[in-house]
């Protein structure tokens, strides 16, 4: 049995979906353990190009079982739309290859509504939410004001629970936001439609994973977003509302005692960030547009243009440390091929001092990047599949990143397709 987590080292969008899709070959079970339908994991394979939101990226591999653990925000409505869209393109999804934890909490229609209402209330100060209801969902979960998916098997108790929840939630929707209340009939109809669809997939995923582990099956834990968006360790409050760290994989999956043998951190060869919050290396003007276009840096979920900049090694080092990465995948190296010289940020200048330490979130807005320039390779590397065929300046770029962040780079990705990768 091998347990491995694939996690984001930076602000998300590092190319985790593409790495999970590639690595599932050696794994029997792929588990999403946190976050919800706000993810946009892009996968390009023999079926075409997909942006997966809630489904684990192992869904394309025959024989792989995909699990949504207790830690995810179970958006049954969007999950169903995602399943149907995949089926329409020839991908099989059934209770044989998708198992959903009966302990996962349901993301309810008012969570999405409350998310949008709160962003509107914040106006110019909004967090840049994807408005998928994630923040209201997790705050309700920790207030014990959500419904566990397994309650669908107890209709009488569920009806009572729903009525209690609505009484409370309507006070917030009407009193705080001046919005309309939800009627019990409307909520019950939603539960009936969405609940009926997902019921066949629900099970005790903890028991399933324990027996899979006992049988020696290999488990791959797929994270959403990256270390800098982790609720506890990221750039709070511009984080997500769940824990995006590998450390949460055991808890959020249903296998709380599992020890991870490996943590593969995914790092993009330059920096991108979608939404609000401090972003020390941000480029503007022509240089930003050029990098954004070269990398196709538009959000997979929202289509929003991503903020872009040179690789921030200070933030990356912090991400590697908090994730406890044992190996790295460096993605999108091919995107930098247009540059003759490539800047990287090796330190921050903060209040007149140079530092390599990632500071407290509020101090980040005062930090300035200290840049060094590395030689570019200035040729197309998207067809390269062997390390020795990579131009020397590209090899030096990879080696410089590796040395700076203190973790071996095992995979170098040079294109979005499954096979466009160099194994070192
Ligand atoms: P994730 O959320 O971490 O899975 O990342 P996203 O899917 O949001 O963003 C990664 C984007 O980069 C997707 O459009 C991928 O198809 C694309 N991509 C991933 N790896 C590479 C690569 O090595 N080169 C290029 N050019 N594109 C890549």
- Gap from CA of 246 to ligand 1 centroid (Å): 20
How far apart, in whole angstroms, are the C-alpha atoms of residue 327 and residue 359? 24
Dihedrals φ, ψ of 220, to 5°?
A: -120, 120
Structure tokens at 5: 């987590």
Asked whether residue 274 carries a pLDDT value surpassing 90, the answer given is no
Q: Kindly report the average pLDDT of the chain as a whole number.
A: 95
Q: According to the model, what pLDDT value does residue 217 have?
A: 97
Mean pLDDT of 156-166: 95
Q: Where are the alpha helices (DSSP H) in 6-60?
A: 16-23
Atom of ligand 1 nearest to the CA of 42: 7
* Active-site residue (options: 13, 102, 140, 334): 13
Residue 196: pLDDT band (50, 70, 90) is very high
Instruction: Quote the CA–CA distance of 296 and 228 in Å, as a whole number.
Output: 21
Instruction: Provide the percentage of residues in the chain whose pLDDT is more than 90.
Output: 89
Q: Phi, psi at residue 285, to the nearest 5°?
A: 65, -145
* pLDDT band with cut points at 50, 70 and 90 for residue 156: very high
Q: What is the mean pLDDT of residues 343-352?
A: 97
- Could you tell me which residue, 43 or 410, shows the higher pLDDT? 410
- In the numeric block, which tokens belong to residue 31? 């588990």
Specify the residue with its C-alpha closest to ligand 1, atom 10.
Answer: 15
Helices H / strands E in the chain, number of each: 11, 20
Query: Is 13 a residue of the active site?
Result: yes
Q: What is the pLDDT of residue 47?
A: 87
Higher-confidence residue: 30 or 299?
A: 30
Give residue 158's region: left, alpha or beta (phi > 0; psi -120 to 50). alpha
**Tens of pLDDT along 32-66?**
999 998 877 888 888 889 889 999 989 999 999 99
Ligand 1 pocket list (CB less than 6 A): 8, 12-18, 40-42, 44, 296, 300, 331-332, 334-335, 413-416
Q: 3-class SS at 351?
A: coil
pLDDT band, residue 301 (cuts 50/70/90):
low
Tell me the mean pLDDT in the region 115-142: 91
Kindly list the distances between the CA atom of residue 129 and the CA atoms of 10, 103, 119, 134, 276, in Å, as whole numbers in the listed order: 18, 25, 7, 9, 9
Q: CA–CA separation, 155 vs 161, rounded Å?
A: 10
Q: Which positions ≥6 away from 282 have C-beta within 8 Å?
A: 273, 288, 307, 308, 309
The helix or strand, by DSSP H or E, that contains position 290, with its residue range, turns out to be helix 285-295
Confidence of residue 401 (pLDDT cuts 50, 70, 90): very high
For atom 27 of ligand 1, the residue with the nearest CA is 416
Smallest CA separation from ligand 1 atom 25, residue? 415
Active site residue: 28, 41, 53, 102, which one?
41
pLDDT computed for residue 244 by the predictor: 96
Q: Whose CA is nearest to atom 8 of ligand 1?
A: 13
DSSP 90: T
When mean pLDDT is compared across 72-86, 128-142, 292-306, the lowest value belongs to 292-306
For this structure, is 41 an active site residue? yes
Confidence band for 230, pLDDT divided at 50, 70 and 90 = very high
**Cα 17 to ligand 1 centre (Å):** 8
Q: Is the dihedral of CA 148, 150, 156, 159 positive or negative?
A: positive
């Amino acid at each position: 049995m091998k347990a491995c987590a694939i996690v984001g080292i930076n602000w998300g969008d590092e190319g985790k979906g593409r790495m999970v899709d590639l690595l599932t070959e050696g794994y029997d079970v792929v588990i999403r353990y946190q976050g919800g339908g706000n993810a946009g994991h892009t996968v390009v394979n023999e079926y075409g190009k997909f942006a997966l939101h809630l489904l684990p990226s192992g869904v394309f591999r025959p024989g792989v079982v995909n699990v949504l653990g207790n830690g995810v925000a179970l958006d049954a409505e969007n999950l169903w739309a995602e399943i149907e869209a995949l089926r329409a393109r020839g991908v099989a999804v059934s209770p044989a290859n998708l198992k959903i934890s009966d302990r996962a909490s349901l993301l309810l229609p008012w969570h999405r509504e409350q998310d949008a209402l709160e962003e509107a209330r914040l106006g110019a100060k909004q967090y840049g939410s994807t408005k998928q209801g994630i923040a209201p969902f997790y705050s309700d979960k920790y207030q014990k004001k959500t419904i566990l998916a397994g309650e669908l098997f107890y209709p009488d108790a569920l009806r009572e629970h729903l009525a209690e929840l609505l009484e409370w939630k309507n006070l917030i929707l009407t009193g705080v936001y001046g919005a309309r209340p939800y009627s019990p009939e409307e909520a019950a109809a939603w539960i009936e439609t969405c609940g009926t669809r997902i019921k066949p997939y629900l099970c005790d995923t903890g028991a399933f994973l324990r027996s899979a582990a006992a049988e020696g099956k290999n488990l791959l834990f797929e994270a959403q977003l990256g270390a800098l968006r982790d609720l506890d360790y990221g750039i709070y409050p511009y984080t997500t509302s769940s824990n995006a760290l590998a450390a949460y994989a055991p808890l959020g999956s249903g296998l709380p005692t599992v020890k991870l043998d490996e943590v593969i951190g995914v790092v993009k060869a330059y920096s991108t960030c979608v939404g609000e919050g401090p972003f020390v290396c941000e480029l503007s003007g022509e240089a930003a547009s050029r990098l954004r276009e070269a990398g196709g840096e538009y959000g997979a979920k929202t289509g929003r243009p991503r903020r872009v900049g040179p690789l921030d090694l200070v933030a990356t080092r912090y991400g590697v440390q908090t994730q406890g990465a044992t190996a790295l995948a460096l993605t999108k190296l091919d995107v930098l091929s247009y540059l003759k010289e490539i800047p990287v940020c090796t330190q921050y200048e903060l209040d007149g001092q140079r530092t390599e330490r990632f500071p407290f979130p509020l101090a980040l807005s005062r930090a300035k990047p200290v840049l060094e320039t590395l030689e570019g390779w200035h040729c197309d590397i998207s067809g390269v599949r062997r390390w020795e065929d990579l131009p020397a300046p590209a090899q030096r770029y990879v080696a410089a990143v590796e040395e700076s962040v203190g973790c071996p780079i095992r995979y170098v990705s040079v294109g979005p397709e499954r096979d466009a990768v160099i194994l070192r």
